[in-house]
Amino acid sequence: MNKILLKNYHLFDPSEKLNYFGDLLIQDDKIKQISPSIELSDIKIINGNGKLLIPGLIDFHVHYRDPGETYKEDIKTGSEASLKGGFTTVIMMANTNPTMDNLSAISDQKKIIDQNSRIRILQTSSVTIGRKGKELVDIDLLSKNGIVSFSDDGDVISDPKILHKALTLANKNNRTILEHCEEHDQVKDGSVNEGSVSIRLGLKPRPKDAEIACVKRDIDLAKKNNLWIYLQHISCKESIDLIRNAKNQGVKVTSEVTPHHLFMNEFWSYGKKGEVPSWIDLSSYDTNTRVNPPLRSEIDRISLIEAVNDGTIDIIATDHAPHSFGDKLNTFDSAMAGINGAETALITLLELVDRKEIDLEKIIKTMCNNPGEILNNILNLNIGKIKKDYKADLVVIDNNDQTKIDDDFFVSKSSNSPLLGSNMKGKIKMTFFDGKLLFEDKE
């Protein structure tokens, strides 16, 4: 019988009103006891010396590039990167090659996961075959075979009739559609937020109106038909206003934001950590900031933070999108879109806590409690809380330490991050998954 006593930790989980210094007993893969003091002999003890102990993080949005682009990432390295970042459960998107759109492909994927993953990986299916937006996958069959939800992520579902039918079938199976909110016709081949930065750098704009129109359409559809929809990587104030109003009206809408949209604004596109370059430096940019949807204005960033703090945003998810060095060694417009986020997500958010922009309580709610509640309702996993008989998925954080983000920092195959060269407040010291210590920072 595997037993570990975690002694002298700052136990923190607002959903359980847990905020005190105490001990936690792990037995096999579950939390057995939580108390201000647990005294046991003949047991492995790990002394926390007052470090912060929180539930294992849950990531609703990762791209592990497996199968099809494993030179960027694969399930083994992706799971190791997420584990280092404090994540114990992740949901993989379906935009692989081949697309995860049928039972055979998903069965093959599960074998790879079982053989290679260090953590709990759940799989989405695409909504439509080949993510072409035309013909629905077999939502009933795939739901019965472990698919957690459905997403054509990377592309919006343009046809409202297809989306309506997909939502109806998914909801019937206690699942939903994770919707990429950007209208094709408006984004075209744009790469950066429409405004002063796109003008100054001479780059094709990717207007937020493309997101706003999609968010409005999807909310209206959900409201009219009493359906539950999940809106991915929200990035602007107007979308937040629509979502907040919809929630106040009782619409079943779940909304997601990424750490990079909370931490960075459009000025980061210049490649100077958010500083506006001098008038003479018009060609400076960092392709590591190329992401869809793009980094927005400071007004938008602040609106997203306010939405996390007031509960309008339900989930913070990484949209972990690793790319090779060559994928980013290009012009901004031609560079592949995506930011490597698994290992830096919690660290960037702890920096925002230190700046008093976001409450730590809200981070735990949006990265542990809320996603855990959704998945527990779908699959009965007992994750996302520090609670007796829940899975012993736990993260230890040292708020008095710092994290240096350089090329040597990443265990992912890729390091396409605008945060390279940064020193961030806080450090992830340990991650426990299923009661086992699988990551430990020994520096």
Euclidean distance between CA atoms 410 and 418, whole angstroms: 13
Euclidean distance between CA atoms 256 and 59, whole angstroms: 11
- CA geometry: angle 365, 371, 376, nearest 5 deg: 120
Name the CATH code of domain 3-52+392-440 (choices 2.30.40.10, 3.90.550.10, 3.40.50.10490, 2.40.50.1020).
2.30.40.10
**Nearest of 21, 19, 33 to residue 4 by alpha carbon:** 33
Higher pLDDT, 256 or 275: 256
Give the pLDDT band of residue 116 (cuts 50, 70, 90): very high
31-56 pLDDT per residue, tens: 999 999 999 988 999 999 999 999 99
The answer on pLDDT for 1 being more than 70 is no
For residues 248 and 224, the answer to whether their CB atoms sit within 8 Å is no
Q: Is the peptide bond before 371 cis (omega within 30 degrees of 0)?
A: no
Tokens of 141: 């069959």
Query: What is the per-residue pLDDT for 283?
Result: 61
SS3 category, 351: helix
For domain 56-379, the CATH class is alpha beta
Q: Give the residue-averaged pLDDT of 81-98.
A: 98
Give the pLDDT band of residue 2 (cuts 50, 70, 90): confident
Query: What is the per-residue pLDDT for 41?
Result: 85
Using the CB atoms, write b or e for 316-352: b if 16+ within 10 Å. Answer: bbbbbbbbbeebbeeebeebbbbbbbbbbbbbbbbbb
Q: Which residues does 202 contact at the CB level (< 8 Å), separation at least 6?
A: 282
Euclidean distance between CA atoms 416 and 375, whole angstroms: 29
Euclidean distance between CA atoms 229 and 368, whole angstroms: 20
For residues 79 and 42, the answer to whether their CB atoms sit within 8 Å is no
Tokens of 118: 């260090």
Give domain limits for the chain.
3-52+392-440, 56-379
Catalytic residues: 319
State the pTM of this model.
0.97
Give the pLDDT band of residue 377 (cuts 50, 70, 90): very high
183-229 pLDDT per residue, tens: 988 988 899 999 999 998 999 999 999 999 999 999 999 999 999 99
